[in-house]
Amino acid sequence: MSRSSVRTVVIAGLGVLALAACTSNTPKSEDKAAPAEQAAVKNDEPGKKVKIGFSAPAADHGWMGAITKATQAEAKKYSDVELIVAEGTNDVNLQISQVETFINQKVDAIVLLPFDGAALTPVATKAMQAGITVVNVDREFDSSFAARTTVLGDNHGMGVSAGTYVCQQLKDKKDAVVAEIAGIDSLPLTQDRSKGFKEALADCGLKVSNRVAAKFTVESGEEAATNLLQAAPKIDAIWNHDDDQGVGVMAAIKNSGRKEFFVVGGAGSANVMRDIKSGNSLLKATVIYPSTQGADGVRLARLLVQKKALGDLVEVEVPRTVQLYAPVVTKDNVDQYLPTAFES
C-alpha cells in the first residue's frame, strides 16, 4: 500500500547584500557588500535531549517494515535523540495502550503512524493535552488538535504521476487500452490514487479500460492480475498501485506469457527499481510513496521539541502539514531513489 520520504537540511549561511546608496551611475570605492550573516539555526548540531516514542502497525508489508527501519536508523544519527519503539501492531486497542504508556513515561514527543487514524485520535489528543508533541504519519487523525504536525504521502499525486507517465509513453495512441490494478477499494488512499490516475489520463484523451482491485498482498496481486489478463485480450499499459502486491502481479504476467504492454508500479520497492534498471522487464517505471515518513517524523519531532525551524524556510515554525512528493522512477533516474527504496 504503499504509501508514499520532508528532508530537514543543515542550514547554510544566507548571504544578505546590503548595498550602499549611490548618487551616480559610478559606484564609489567604499561601496562594499556587507559580510554574510549566519543563519540562527543549525539543525543538526546537538541540542536538548529529546525522548521520542514511536508506534506503527505490524511490519506485515514491505513498505510498513521499511517505515520502522528507516525511523530507527534516522534516530541513531542524533546523539540528542532517544527513540522508544513500540512493537508493531494491527490491534487498535493495543496501539492505544502503547500511546498511553508513552504518556505515562512523559516522553517529549510521539511519532505515530496509526493503524486507524480515527480510532487513535482521542489518545493522540490526550497526549497533546499533556504537553507532548505528536507527529502524525501517513494516516491522518480526525482532529487537528491530535497532532502538531502531520507527514503525508501523496496518494492523489501518485495517480497523477502514473497517469502522466502512461500518457507520455503512449503519446498520440488514442485507442490505447490502459488497465489498472488497484489496492483495497474501500480505502480512501486507493480511491485517491484511482482518481488522480483517471484525471491524468483524461488530459491526454485516454481512460481506464480495464480495472481490478487487489488487497496489497502478493497473493491478491497474482489473483487480480490473472483475472485482468483473462478479461482483456489486448492491453497497452498497466498501472499497479502497489509494488508489494506487484510481486504477484508480475508472477501472473509471467505465467500468461504476454508481453505486449508495459507496467508501472507504485510505492517504490527496491526489487522493482532493480528490474527497471536492468531494462529487461516489462516494468518501466514506479511511482514513489515514501517509506521515509516515519524518519521524517523523527526529524520534525526533534526540531519541534528543540524549538527549531525547517532550515530552508523563512517561516520560523515547523509547518502543520508536510506532504511528500510522488516522483516517477525510470531507468534514467533510478540510481537516485534506490538507496531509500524498500524490499518487497
Total-model pTM: 0.81
Residue 114 CA to residue 68 CA, distance in Å, equals: 13
CATH of domain 50-153+292-313: 3.40.50.2300
Per-residue pLDDT of the chain (344 residues; tens, 9 = 90+): 443 333 333 333 333 333 333 333 333 444 444 333 444 457 888 999 999 999 999 998 889 999 999 999 999 999 999 999 999 999 999 999 999 999 999 999 999 999 999 999 999 999 999 999 999 999 999 999 999 999 999 999 999 999 999 999 998 798 999 999 999 999 889 999 999 999 999 999 999 999 999 999 999 999 999 999 999 999 999 999 999 999 999 999 999 999 999 999 999 999 999 999 999 999 999 999 999 999 999 999 999 999 999 988 888 899 999 999 999 999 999 999 999 899 88
Nearest to 240 by CA among 260, 261, 221, 220: 221
CA 32 to chain CA centroid, nearest Å? 46
Residue 139 neighbours by CB under 8 Å, 6+ apart: 113, 114, 115, 116, 117
> Which residue is listed with cell 485482468?
228
pLDDT at residue 160, rounded to an integer = 98
Residue 309 CA to residue 325 CA, distance in Å, equals: 20
Map out the domains of the chain as residue ranges. 50-153+292-313, 155-288+330-340
pLDDT at residue 41, rounded to an integer = 52
Residue 242 CA to residue 238 CA, distance in Å, equals: 12
pLDDT at residue 311, rounded to an integer = 86
Residue 164 CA to residue 34 CA, distance in Å, equals: 47
Grid cell locating 153:
504521502
Q: Strand pairing partners for 14?
A: 37
CATH of domain 155-288+330-340: 3.40.50.2300
pLDDT at residue 261, rounded to an integer = 98
Q: How many residues does the chain have?
A: 344
3-state secondary structure the chain: CCCCCCCCCCCCCECCCCCCCCCCCCCCCCCCCCCCECCCCCCCCCCCCEEEEEECCCCCCHHHHHHHHHHHHHHCCCCCEEEEECCCCCCHHHHHHHHHHHHHCCCCEEEECCCCHHHHHHHHHHHHHCCCEEEEECCCCCCHHHCCEEEECCHHHHHHHHHHHHHHHHCCCCCCCEEEEECCCCCHHHHHHHHHHHHHHHHCCCCEEEEEECCCCHHHHHHHHHHHHHHCCCCCEEEECCHHHHHHHHHHHHHHCCCCCEEEEEECEHHHHHHHHHCCCCEEEEEECCCCHHHHHHHHHHHHHCCCCCCCCCCCCCCCEEECCCCEECCCCHHHHHHHCECC
- 50-153+292-313 shares its CATH topology with 155-288+330-340: yes
Grid cell locating 231:
478479461
Nearest to 75 by CA among 269, 344, 292: 292
